[in-house]
Structure 1
């Protein structure tokens, strides 16, 4: 038995190879993702030996990334070359010329966590340029602390109602962007019991009204009502709902007065007193595609029943993504239900399997990354701009910064050529650093664009501890097979480099991986005991394989907002005002036209409101259902008919283009083109197409991406000057038969 991002499962090993997997018996709805694992772990795309790009090795040529061949070298020689290059860049340009790229999920294995490993190594060598936030939530991580005063992920994981509370109290569940059980297959650090779909069955049996607002019916479980919505228009609809509350005297004025600040600055905009445009249902209807009476009826129901507004993470992955997240909080405040069980607002339900679960918080098993002496930090989604424009000034969350001049990129954990936008432009930017080093199990698009590639083990080739703060299971993860090829653990790779750079003792502290694992576990065990939870000693856990911790909260949880609601003066929020900030003096002081002092309607540059004959369709790019991001893609792509990826299109749009289900199509705009296989469906809004992410990026430039990666089509622009998150869902395209 072992654990993973997508859950726990049993593994069958024969003759040193993984040959099969079986679901964990305690998982009520196990994911099918592990079924592809045997093929993926032993796939020919595994990096077999340390490899150096020929053009870089022979003359330090930067231009062949993505098209050059590789020379396999012995480990010692490859480590010598990499260490010498890191030393050269440090000595010549300083540590601010090194970017530590490790945008990746927290692995189920807590010691062999690539991000912790690479950051600890780089910190030991003098530091690196780091990144803020994630592609999933970077925009929200910037805006929501201004609104509620707490880090956004803490809000998601610690201060929202759990499923039990929702089931017991919520009467109307209004889901902007849906709640998709497909996405909840996975979770940072692992999710052992997949429960999201089961909770919606419970909601249905209790008669809860669940309303999915978004462009796809499939973004919520069967049985939910669907209100089709134009992508990018959620803020307009929220404003119209708020307008009805205020115009019909349904606003909870007492809550607004006691628990919020700035409503007096926001209301004139809402009612049209400042700009001459009231944000009424009649104003919103042509923008969002929802008829005015539906908006009025929904607003009245939300005011008359215990209502929970949920907002999918996907809404903030768009231009002006700050606005729907902020406006949802304002709408919930006007309803006056924040702090009531089953009411208010919540974010990210269904985005990962851990959101909605309620546990007693425990200290995690953590391998210290050390301290980074370099203070330079960029928003994670601005890596392309950083490489393209060293020295250029940019705004971010009230600060004025300049992009560093990056000469060396070290990436371990994650595949930027999966999650970044406008991959053809990123490919060009990727040619600029002097050196790129990657630790990677497979020959991904990122590995194929590196100068030095070290073969890394997968979690099944090493010993570890599986533990997530969003889960109540603790796993001993045994080494199931020997490393494939000449793969080594990240720890061993970095220990070898650190020794060559004279900081071996700083990185390893004289310990091997097995010694670290036992030390970290013993520290974890001591801390959990101090918190009143007993966990077995290491050897007992090793014998048992797993244990369920007694930290699950089955009853209604008391959120951060309950005591605040009861007495805002005695239990203030950690905002400047101590209250929910409908108007933020801090944000207003930044002077950003694209994110002013209160929520506003700001149309994206690309959406159906700006569609043209060259690009008439709005592209959304949801997460795949058959894997996590692009992981395991090499094996999936081998399956007959699996690639190119499937694009969903409405019958009217398909008919206009003479496209049928199963047809191969070309999806294109001025940024690029990819192949896809059409699926004609009435479960998507007319004018919208959906192409999942996860297909590995292929050839750069003007060539068509053959497997269907939507990020050859998306825009590499920040959400706003405040958040600078990714804008993956702001893209117009067209489709034609192939």
Structure 2
């Protein structure tokens, strides 16, 4: 299959198909008769349609053609300015932009210290191992500025990545080396998926993916007789191939449902006492809570039914079906992207422990399986090319989702993972390869936060909302316009990413931009180590080649690799990782927890004294419970037609919009009482803001729930009074900017509450992709 969506006269000379890579799949591309053609890797059994975004995006009007500086900054210099995001920009030469920016970086470094610089960015900008914008900007700030304030964790797994080390030990091992898709296909009897395993998520992998295997694995498991049970408000969170039973539940109540399942197992003597005694600590204390001995409320099915919207008899029947089978309990990332998001992750581990399945092939706790394509895969047996970032001289950091708090409240204390920390005083924010106006919540609050800094610098290929709020916009190349090496640690294919097109306008690689900036700061040699891009690629490839040679495997030199189409690396055995070894001998292979066991009760977490995350998994009450004036749950999940907000202007993404707006999905009964018909434009609103979206009515969503994916580029209309309205359909104008708990301070952007009405006014045009 190939895709041809774009034609221009200035695309450069024709080329043969050349190999390339993206986070959503390996592919090849060429110019042919003035058109860009893209075709997926021939070994991919289930290619990702997001590849179809490339042709229309490559020369789109939203691309940034030359350096620009915000007029207010150019005329008045650095400082807080509420006009950010509303001011006009002045095109300048690269020389002027870099001279002014170099001077500003030196001013902040020398006058305030590198601790006044926040190095933003996120890891999804490029599948290339060298032109990885996050690595490039961090290397630059380390070598040229002496360091920077960093962020830790991610918007996707902010709660779980802090919790899991306390209760199971090794987060990477749990997600990447525990239960594989091969095991599901061959061994699982029942997969109980809280929040599902949506293919739109597992189509993505940092560094690239050559073979999308999830759909096929589920189909093979089902053909063998494996049952799939989906718990959640969206039927589409498991594919048709799984043939899943759908238990429609209220959003945010998974912890209550899991508690009731375990209560039934205990009450009927179906839990695995031997496993709990040998492999866990704290069961007795948790059991007292479960049975209601500590609060006079047994967490039984009758208690859970009105909370979850699942009949008590359904809960009891499901618990009985789990006993004695090879059961895999899956908890999706989405569940912990909400207030008290630590609890469903912890409770998933407790449920799997009560069933005694942890450490068995195809059984136990498959946290986040299906959340991303490199979960559930084998690990490569040789190192991958990786750009060293240097040493950060600043030890300060923030949880990634607390950026607005940091900028709005410098010096304020906050709790994180048992510590009381203090937000740093940030003067300059440097962002390359990321769009916080996609990831973050309460976007009007984020706008206010960015207005507080002296200078905001953004490297971008397109005019995202983050770029439009910047002081400096430095145009960077798209992956198709540069050379790199593609691959990730859990996919065998290593790809020479040869360029297909000339850079757009005056766009430069991040590396070239940082090299010239480093020169202005007297640190060019420290940043570049005297290497060109090609010399860096050769240097980064060498450890991989040497490891292949050491194992007696074919080890092509760089020139041979670069001229070819890529090759497969060896992979390690599917051995179940630490949890398999732990089950085999918990004394000789303990977990990396304080007790060496699975911690059903954590003395460490209990000692923190956090009411928002006690010492064992617990039901902490509904958060964002729908009521007037916001009577509907909003599920703001990941999009199917792009990676986050990347290339939102691409053909595949645009084809899925309705009247140029993102599409929400709601139940026909909820629409009927509001006078809404399929295909209408609707207004979603709450106390934080409003947005417009198209609407599709479907019974594959729970009544009382509306779903609007993230990723539509923020396009606000500023009212005379009140909050801005995004006319394009970005749900993060509606989500609440609070942490999951004082333990993890993770992102809570998955769930909020809204009201919805049919939009009857004059429909505002979409300006998100317009040139400045």
**1:34 maps to which of 51, 59, 84:** 51
Secondary structure, aligned partner of 2:690: strand
Residue 106 of structure 1, CA deviation = 6.6
Structure 1 stretch displaced more, 179-188 or 429-438 = 179-188
Q: Verify the 8 A CA contact 2:645 2:713 in the aligned structure 1.
A: yes
**2:337 maps to which residue?**
317
Report the CA distance between 1:100 and its aligned residue: 0.1
Q: Structure 1 residues 718-727 or 195-204, which shifts more?
A: 195-204
Deviation of 1:232 (Å): 0.5
Report the counterpart of residue 684 of structure 2 in structure 1: 667
1:644 equivalent in structure 2 = 661
1:551 Cα deviation (Å)? 2.1
2:250 aligns with 230
- 1:43 and 2:60 are equivalent in the alignment: yes
Checking the alignment, whether the CA contact within 8 Å between 2:546 and 2:555 is kept in structure 1 is no
Kindly state the Cα deviation for residue 729 of structure 1 after the two structures are TM-superposed. Answer: 2.2
Deviations 1:228-285 (A, max 9, x none): 0111000000100110111111111111111000111111100000001000000000
Give, in whole Å, the separation in 1 of the partners of 2:512 and 2:621. 50
Question: 1:622 aligned to 637, 644, 669, which one?
Answer: 637
The CA deviation at 1:315 is 0.7
Task: Assess if the C-alpha contact under 8 Å between 1:604 and 1:730 holds in 2.
Answer: no
CA distance in 2, matches of 1:295, 1:704: 41
d(CA) in 1 for partners of 2:418 and 2:635? 30
Shift of 1:516: 0.9
Where does residue 382 of structure 1 map in the other structure? Answer: 402
**Partner in structure 1 of residue 486 of structure 2:** 466
Partner of 1:501 in structure 2? 521
Match for 1:734 among 733, 755, 769?
A: 755
* 1:532–1:315 distance in 2 versus 1, CA, 3 Å: farther
- Which of 712, 726, 735 in structure 2 is aligned with 1:714? 735
CA shift digits 1:477-518 (9 cap, x unpaired): 001111110000000000011111011111111111111111
SS in 2 for 1:674: strand
Q: How far did residue 355 of structure 1 move?
A: 1.5
> Residue 633 of structure 1 aligns to a residue in which SS?
coil
Report the 3-state secondary structure (helix = DSSP H, G, I; strand = E; otherwise coil) of the residue aligned with 2:420: strand
Q: Which residue of 1 aligns with 2:106?
A: 87
Specify which of 546, 569, 583 is matched with residue 565 of structure 1: 583
2:320 corresponds to 1:289: no
Q: Which moved more, 1:281-290 or 1:23-32?
A: 23-32
- Paired residues for 1:568-579 under 5 Å: 568-579=586-597
SS at match of 2:387: coil
Structure 2: runs of 5 or more not aligned: 1-18, 760-772
Q: 3-state SS of the aligned residue for 1:71?
A: strand
CA-CA distance at 1:108 after TM superposition: 1.6
CA RMSD, Structure 1 to Structure 2 (Å): 1.4
Offset at residue 700 of structure 1 (A)? 6.1
TM-score by length of 1: 0.97
Identify the residue that residue 5 of structure 1 maps to in structure 2.
Answer: 23
Distance of 2:622 and 2:446 partners within structure 1:
22
Contact 1:644 1:676 in 2 (8 A): yes
CA distance in structure 1 between the aligned counterparts of 2:518 and 2:663, rounded to whole angstroms: 45
| Native 8 Å contact 2:382 2:569 kept in 1 | no
Q: 1:583 to 1:534 in 2, by over 3 A?
A: farther
* 8 A contact 1:102–1:114 mirrored in 2: yes
Structure 2 match to 1:100:
119
- Maintained 8 Å contact 1:643/1:708: no
SS of structure 1 residue aligned to 2:640? coil
Taking the TM superposition and a 5 Å limit, the aligned residue runs for 1:512-523 are 512-523=532-543
Distance 1:298 1:638 in 2: 41
Q: Is the 8 A contact 1:424 1:700 kept in 2?
A: no
State which of 189, 204, 223 in structure 2 corresponds to 1:186.
204
Give the deviation of 1:12 after TM superposition.
Answer: 2.1
Structure 1 residues 377 and 361: CA distance shift in structure 2, 3 A: farther
Kindly tell me: are residues 103 and 642 of structure 1, through their superposed partners in 2, closer, same or farther at Cα, counting changes over 3 Å? Answer: farther
**1:426 maps to 2:443:** no
Tell me: CA distance 1:533–1:384, structure 2 relative to 1, closer, same or farther (3 Å). Answer: farther
Q: CA–CA distance in 2 between the matches of 1:162 and 1:105? A: 24
- 2:190 is matched with which residue? 172
CA contact (8 A) 2:188 2:327 kept: yes
SS at match of 1:8: strand
Asked if 2 retains the 8 angstrom alpha-carbon contact of 1:215 and 1:688, the reply is yes
Q: Distance in 2 between matches of 1:630 and 1:528?
A: 37
Structure 1: gaps of 5 or more residues = none
Q: 1 CA distance for matches of 2:659 and 2:640?
A: 12
Structure 2 contact 155–401 (Cα < 8 Å) conserved: yes
Once the 2 structures are TM-superposed, how far is the Cα of residue 531 of structure 1 from its aligned partner?
A: 5.3
Residue 563 of structure 1 deviates from its aligned partner by 2.1
Paired residue for 2:355? 335
SS at match of 2:366: strand
Q: Deviation per CA, 1:412-432, whole angstroms, max 9, x where unpaired?
A: 011000110011110111100
Checking the alignment, whether the CA contact within 8 Å between 1:307 and 1:343 is kept in structure 2 is: yes
Match of 1:306 in 2: 326
* SS of 1:240 mapped into structure 2: helix
Asked whether 1:436 is paired with 2:450, we answer no
Q: Mean alpha-carbon deviation: is it higher for 521-530 or for 288-297?
A: 521-530
2:295 aligns with: 275
CA–CA distance in structure 1, aligned partners of residues 154 and 741 of structure 2: 15
- CA shift for structure 1 position 101: 0.2
CA distance in 2, matches of 1:19, 1:642: 26
Equivalent residue, structure 2, for 1:148 = 168
Rounded to whole Å, the distance in 1 between the matches of 2:257 and 2:397 is: 35
Superposition deviation, residue 178 in structure 1: 0.4
Distance in 1, Cα, partners of 2:659 & 2:218: 30
SS at match of 1:634: coil
Q: Distance in 2 between matches of 1:114 and 1:247?
A: 54
Deviations 1:29-78 (A, max 9, x none): 11111112111111011111111001110013622211111111111111
- Name the residue aligned to 2:12: none
Question: Compared with structure 1, are the counterparts of its residues 629 and 532 closer, same or farther at alpha carbon in structure 2 (3 Å cutoff)?
Answer: farther
CA distance in 2 between partners of 1:83 and 1:527 (Å): 40
Query: C-alpha separation between the residues in 1 aligned to 2:258 and 2:552?
Result: 44
1:447 aligned to which of 439, 457, 467 = 467
**Corresponding residue SS for 2:716:** coil
Whole-angstrom CA distance in 2 between matches of 1:638 and 1:335 = 45
Q: Is the 8 A contact 1:212 1:227 kept in 2?
A: yes
Higher alpha-carbon deviation: 355-364 or 627-636:
355-364
CA drift of 1:20 comes to: 2.0
Equivalent residues in 2 for 1:343-354, closer than 5 Å: 343-354=363-374
Q: In structure 2, how many angstroms separate the alpha carbons of the residues matched to 1:3 and 1:103?
A: 18
CA distance in 2, matches of 1:368, 1:106: 17
Q: Residue 215 of structure 2 is aligned with which of 185, 193, 197?
A: 197
Structure 1 residue 18: deviation in Å?
Answer: 5.6
Output the CA distance in 2 between the equivalents of 1:648 and 1:217.
12
Check the 8 A contact 1:183/1:352 in 2, yes or no: yes
- Contact 2:82-2:448 at 8 Å conserved across structures: no
Normalising by the residue count of structure 2, what TM-score does the alignment of the two structures yield?
0.93
* CA displacement 1:283-339 (0-9 Å, x = unmatched): 000001111111111111111211000111111100000000011001111111111
Map Cα deviations across residues 99-138 of structure 1 (whole Å, 9 max, x no partner).
Answer: 0001232732100100110000000121000000110111
Q: Once the 2 structures are TM-superposed, how far is the Cα of residue 568 of structure 1 from its aligned partner?
A: 1.0
Q: Which of 260, 266, 275 does residue 240 from structure 1 map onto?
A: 260
Determine the C-alpha separation between the residues in 2 that align with 1:461 and 1:630: 20
**In 2, Cα distance between the equivalents of 1:114 and 1:409?**
15
